[in-house]
Amino acid sequence: MPPKSKKSTGFQSAAGLIRYFDTEAEKGPVFKPWYVVGAIIALVVIVSLAKVIWPM
């Protein structure tokens, strides 16, 4: 049997996940939290008004 090397390689799958999450964190839009809350409230109001205007 060949001698085992002494260098530490770590887990291959863990290294792949770390690379995946490192690159993913740098992409995508960044919104202020209040913009998201405002958009949700606006969507709720629009849907509620649509139910009143166009009843089924």
Q: What is the pLDDT of residues 16-40, one digit of tens each?
A: 556 655 555 566 788 899 999 999 9
**CA 51 to CA 55: how far, in whole Å?**
5
Q: What pLDDT was estimated at residue 42?
A: 98
Q: Which residues of 26-53 are buried (b: 16+ CB within 10 A; e: fewer)?
A: eeeeeeeeeeeeeeeeeeeeeeeeeeee
pTM of the model: 0.49
* Sequence spans of domains, the chain: 31-56
pLDDT classification of 43: cutoffs 50, 70, 90: very high
Q: What pLDDT was estimated at residue 41?
A: 98
| Rounded alpha-carbon distances, angstroms, from residue 39 to 8, 15, 44, 47, 52 | 49, 37, 9, 12, 20
